[in-house]
């Protein structure tokens, strides 16, 4: 029975990963540690709250002692590090916590795993530390070409820089100590339980509440979208089959401009839910500082080496996602109250 230490498991991708893994495997144990920031929400894990194979502890990955206790209490086989500050706009306003959690937190976690796993003979290569990273570490593309695993790192936002720094630390623990690691770099995810500060859930939530839809700059920046469950399957493959020390890009060639995304959501919601949702809600607003123009992942390596392919077409995934948010209005209303209400007001309503 393998034991997974999942960090940030109450966030968007982490909670989807835990739900996916517990659905797929009976004989695993998941220790989920999360600081429960504004983005962490145990409601995401309601389905598994009585599952004895899921154990939650409120822990900050920056807290060395608390991490050591976790490694003393449980015999961890895999660390899957999702815990992060993840929103680019917040990193532009206030970078410090991004460095604390994403860089120092990752280094603490690496040290705790190293102390627990290293013996005189080195590391047991059945253990593994998986760093969940992002395509944003590669910077921005022009009109053509894709990111491959050895594209030079060229992060632009403080968020992306903190994720690139974390990737380099993970790599250094492999290069220096031969600690067994993998790094995954995925494109933009969407799906259930994503915090509505990110483009897709923000637009759905604002359509539901007939609020304006802010589009940064000319709306022609391109992101490469992947349904979150496809990302979870990719991580599972990397844990089980990924070669130690390797980086795997994850993406499904679903590039769309932001304005295409917004219009797709408006059209679907208008036809299926409420005719009064229309393009009149769109507002072009000031561009994001240092806004990356285009992301595009080349997933050839994970496809050929590990046999992973996405299974959800964007057109299907976006419909499922819109339905999920409309059916889970209480979840949405819950997460947009409190701290987020102040953030939203500052970002979009004060100017």
State the residues that interact with ligand TDX by CB under 6 A.
86-88, 134, 136, 188, 198-199, 202, 214-216, 221, 223, 258, 288
- The footprint of ligand NAD (CB under 6 A) covers 7-8, 10-14, 34-37, 39-40, 60-62, 82-86, 101, 105, 132, 134, 163, 186, 188-189, 195
Inter-CA distances, 322 with 23, 44, 270, 295, 337, Å:
23, 17, 12, 23, 20
Verify whether residue 159 is a known catalytic residue: yes
- The catalytically annotated residue of 34, 85, 136, 229 is 136
Whole-angstrom distance, CA of residue 202 vs CA of residue 258: 12
By beta-carbon proximity to ligand TDX, the closer residue of 47 and 339 is: 339
| Min dist. Cβ of residue 258 to ligand TDX (A) | 4
| Min dist. Cβ of residue 253 to ligand TDX (A) | 16
The closest of 176, 166, 54, 179 to 116, measured between CA atoms, is 179
The partner in contact with residue 250, picked from ligand TDX, ligand NAD, none with C-beta cut-offs of 5 to 8 angstroms by kind, is none
| Min dist. Cβ of residue 273 to ligand TDX (A) | 21
The partner in contact with residue 232, picked from ligand NAD, ligand TDX, none with C-beta cut-offs of 5 to 8 angstroms by kind, is none
The closest of 4, 20, 13, 15 to 233, measured between CA atoms, is 20
- The catalytically annotated residue of 34, 77, 85, 135 is 135
| Min dist. Cβ of residue 170 to ligand TDX (A) | 16
- The catalytically annotated residue of 4, 138, 159, 268 is 159
The closest of 295, 277, 276, 286 to 145, measured between CA atoms, is 295
Place of tokens 């820089």: 161
| Min dist. Cβ of residue 103 to ligand TDX (A) | 15
Contact of 295 with 136, CB cutoff 8 Å: yes
The partner in contact with residue 312, picked from ligand NAD, ligand TDX, none with C-beta cut-offs of 5 to 8 angstroms by kind, is none
The partner in contact with residue 11, picked from ligand TDX, ligand NAD, none with C-beta cut-offs of 5 to 8 angstroms by kind, is ligand NAD
Residue number, nearest CB to ligand NAD: 11
**DSSP letter for each residue of 237-290:** HHHHHPPTT-EEEE--S-EEEHHHHHHHHHHHHHHHT-TT--GGGEEEEPPPTT
Phi, psi of 89, rounded to the nearest 5 degrees? -60, -40
By beta-carbon proximity to ligand NAD, the closer residue of 53 and 134 is: 134
Q: Give the CB-side neighbour count of residue 105, counting CA atoms within 13 A.
A: 24
Phi, psi of 331, rounded to the nearest 5 degrees? -60, -45
- Catalytic positions are 135-136, 159
């Amino acid at each position: 029975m393998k034991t997974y230490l999942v960090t940030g498991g109450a966030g968007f991708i982490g909670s989807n990963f835990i739900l996916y893994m517990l659905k797929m495997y009976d004989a695993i144990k998941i220790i989920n540690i999360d600081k429960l920031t504004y983005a962490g929400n145990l409601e995401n894990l309601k389905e598994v709250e009585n599952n004895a194979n899921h154990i939650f502890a409120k822990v900050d990955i920056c807290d060395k002692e608390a991490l050591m206790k976790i490694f003393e209490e449980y015999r961890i086989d895999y660390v899957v590090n999702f815990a992060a500050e993840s929103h680019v706009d917040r990193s532009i306003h206030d970078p410090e916590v991004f460095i604390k959690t994403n860089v120092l937190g990752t280094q603490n976690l690496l040290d705790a795993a190293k102390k627990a796993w290293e013996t005189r003979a080195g590391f047991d290569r059945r253990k593994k530390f998986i760093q969940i990273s992002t395509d944003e570490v590669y910077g921005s593309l022009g009109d053509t070409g894709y990111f491959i695993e050895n594209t030079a790192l060229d992060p632009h936002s403080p968020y992306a820089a903190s994720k690139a720094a974390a990737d380099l630390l993970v790599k250094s623990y492999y290069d220096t100590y031969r600690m067994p690691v993998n790094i995954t770099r995925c494109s933009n995810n969407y799906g259930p339980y994503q915090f509505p500060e990110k483009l897709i859930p923000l637009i759905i939530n604002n359509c539901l509440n007939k609020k304006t839809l802010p589009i940064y700059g000319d709306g022609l920046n391109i992101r490469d979208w992947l349904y979150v469950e496809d990302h979870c399957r990719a991580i599972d493959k990397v844990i089980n089959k990924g070669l130690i020390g390797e980086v795997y890009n994850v993406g499904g060639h679903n590039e769309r401009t932001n304005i295409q995304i917004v219009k797709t959501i408006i059209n679907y919601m208008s036809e299926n839910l409420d005719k009064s949702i229309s393009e009149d809600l769109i507002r072009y607003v000031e561009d994001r500082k240092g806004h990356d123009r285009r992301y595009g992942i080349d997933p050839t390596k994970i496809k050929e080496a590990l046999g992973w392919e996405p299974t959800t077409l964007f057109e299907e995934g976006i419909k499922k996602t819109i339905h999920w948010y409309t059916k889970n209005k209480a979840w949405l209303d819950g997460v947009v109250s409190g701290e987020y209400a102040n953030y939203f007001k500052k970002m979009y309503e004060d100017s």
